[in-house]
Amino acid sequence: MSAPSALQLNGAAGVRLVADSFGDPHARTVLMLHGGGQTRHAWHATAASLAQAGWHAITVDLRGHGESAHPRPPAYALEDFGEDVRCLIAATAHPAASVGARTASAAAAVAPGERPIVIGASLGGIAALLALTEEPAAPAAGLVLVDVAHHFQTRGGGRIVSFMERHPAGFASLSDAADAVAAYLPNRPRPRDTSGLRHNLRRENGRWMWHWDPHVLMQARAIMADPTDLSARLTGAAKRLRQPCLLVRGAESDVLSAEIAREFVELAPSATLVEVARAGHMVAGDNNDTFTAAIGAWLDGFVGR
């Protein structure tokens, strides 16, 4: 499998979004949106597998994450992320008009005239669900939500925010960063090779800093303080969702309970549920093989492929 091609896409208000393209750009497109505090590299193994199976996978750094732009003044409301999703879906369906500078020609970015299937984890999933169900509704062909639904467990959500708030001064070494991740994710073995963390960190003044804009946390703190309005908004979104939808829950998740996952598929007319064993909220990272198999099976049965 060849290395992915680099893309630069335009989000809302022209915010630069960096992405990777896996597989044949003329194949059916799967647009992959990571969770808060992650980068596009969280999807690498799954995207490569989907490309091998004949799909065109595009993994995107959300605004304020990875190599994508950090807008100033900060613009990290859910509406901003949702508008980015609309722009990305428009770029997928109409590449020549919407895709910005990239390593290859803009016209070859994606298969023209086809609506993508969107896969969104956590923050990426919330943004996608709102973009597909609130006006102007984005015309995606299908939606995969990864460990996110209309309600979430505040304890698990708070643990994510707490982790992201730690170590504002960064780390002296990649090994120190690996120790912090291992403490946050005790269910995963600490990697002996820490070089993969370079995708989530940047070098700044001799320190390794997390590769996200700290201003991203403003929205997360507000939601954790009072999730009522967001839960009501997402409940309405679930009821309006008409695209085929797969909800993937980590069986050991402390963010999405089994009860809420089952309730979501009752609310959403076209949703189905699958649980991934030995996985928490970071489903793709905890048990990638099983996660990828579940996604692949659903995509294989996707109507109109």
| Residue ranges of domains in the chain | 5-155+228-300, 157-210
Average pLDDT over residues 83-106: 62
Tokens at 47, concatenated: 């995207």
Mean pLDDT, the chain, whole residue set: 90
pLDDT the model gives residue 192: 87
pLDDT the model gives residue 1: 59
Report how far residue 129's alpha carbon sits from residue 227's, in angstroms, rounded to the nearest whole number.
Answer: 16
pLDDT the model gives residue 174: 95
Report how far residue 235's alpha carbon sits from residue 11's, in angstroms, rounded to the nearest whole number.
Answer: 26
- For residue 103, with 0-12 CB atoms within 10 Å meaning exposed, 13-18 middle and 19 or more buried, which class applies? exposed
Under 8 Å between Cβ of 210 and 37: yes
Q: Which residues of 46-59 are buried (b: 16+ CB within 10 A; e: fewer)?
A: bbbbbbeeebbbbb
**Which residues, at least 6 apart from 119, have a Cβ–Cβ distance to it below 8 Å?**
30, 31, 32, 33, 43, 143, 144, 146, 295
Element (H, E) at 238: helix 228-240
pLDDT tens for each residue of 70-91: 999 999 999 999 999 999 999 9
Average pLDDT over residues 175-200: 90
Under 8 Å between Cβ of 298 and 21: no
Question: Would the pLDDT of 143 be above 70?
Answer: yes
**Quick one: pLDDT band at residue 257, thresholds 50, 70, 90?**
very high
Q: What is the CATH number of domain 5-155+228-300?
A: 3.40.50.1820
pLDDT tens for each residue of 259-305: 999 999 999 989 999 999 999 999 999 999 999 999 999 999 874 44
**pTM score, whole prediction:** 0.91
pLDDT tens for each residue of 106-122: 333 444 458 999 999 99
pLDDT the model gives residue 149: 98
pLDDT tens for each residue of 28-70: 999 999 999 999 999 999 999 999 999 999 999 999 999 999 9
Residue 264: which of 170, 179, 180, 148 has the closest Cα?
Answer: 148
